[in-house]
Amino acid sequence: MAQPYQAFHRLHELGASFEHTPKTVHLDVASAMTGVSRFGEQYPAWTYDYQYLYLKTEGLNDFATVDYVLTADPWHPSKQEFEVVDTVDAFDRVDAGRLAIVQKPQIYILQRKPSQV
């Protein structure tokens, strides 16, 4: 499981210069299931969108008003107008040979590509 607020912490670091500018952040089901929640919301000017209708539609304009996306699937066709700007690692498995916990990216922070603004 990803550290619950780490994704928001990283997002807010990336967007610190826009904290007073209205922005929309979408969180998909998978990122919400890792613990990303309303408790991590920080900037009052930002809208944090937890609507899951994006997953049910085929259109590529579903994210037309979204500036950032927290997702487990950055390669979904509906997200082609975004780029990965950071990742949050979380538990993947235990490597018994090395007696180590192995992590891998679980949450991807996407930002709208400049050409898509």
Instruction: Express each pLDDT in 54-99 by its tens digit.
Output: 444 444 456 788 999 999 888 877 788 899 999 988 888 999 999 9
Dihedral, CA of residue 92, residue 95, residue 101 and residue 104, to nearest 10: -30
Q: Which helix (H) or strand (E) holds 14?
A: helix 6-14
Prediction pTM value: 0.78
Model confidence at 32, pLDDT cuts 50, 70, 90, reads confident
Q: Taking the domain 6-116, which CATH number applies?
A: 3.40.190
pLDDT of residue 2: 46
